[in-house]
Amino acid sequence: MLRGPGEADIAFTVNGAPAKVRAAPRRTLLDTLRETLALTGTKKVCDEGTCGACTVLVDGRPVYSCMTLAITCEGKSIETIEGISKDGELHPVQRAFIDADAFQCGFCTPGQIMSIVALLRENSAPTEDDVRRAVAGNLCRCGAYPNIVKAGVSAGKRKS
């Protein structure tokens, strides 16, 4: 519902819990997650749709949250890196990243992981090429790609 010239009430679910925010129509999902909802696991790097560090899932699909307006997420399900572990256990993709040493600075890591989580829901036994395609929109300045690909393949084996 619009709240005047500058703001609208927006309702969606974040990591399975209902959330309501009031935001200007131009406010991005990324800023809403990080600054309004204090979910800072999703990283802001380029803020212009080129790096993938801000990747979250909207209705199960990976999106760049810096290029997604919060107002367009009304009624949708948002998943962030904070929501994928269960009962204190890391998600298999998180565990695989640790075991494969698939990060250095870690800034790209939440986005990489969310892209691979989405992949594994559609393809539980991905090949290296499947993982490469899934993270094609996630840049890693540290060049951890070989181990990111290994982690994605190994996470598929863990899930099955």
Binding site for ligand FES (CB under 6 A): 44-47, 49-54, 64, 66, 103-109, 140-142, 144
Cβ within 8 Å of residue 138, ≥6 positions away? 51, 52, 53, 55, 108, 111, 112, 115
Q: Provide the 8-state DSSP code for 35.
A: I
What count of other Cβ atoms lies within 10 Å of the Cβ of residue 88? Answer: 5
Q: Which is nearer to ligand FES, 9 or 112 (CB)?
A: 112
Min separation Cβ 29 and ligand FES, Å: 10
Q: Which is nearer to ligand FES, 52 or 62 (CB)?
A: 52
Min separation Cβ 23 and ligand FES, Å: 17
Min separation Cβ 66 and ligand FES, Å: 3
Hunting for tokens 């290994």 — which residue is that? 150
Q: Which is nearer to ligand FES, 112 or 154 (CB)?
A: 112
Q: At what angle do helices 145-159 and 92-99 cross, to 10 degrees?
A: 140
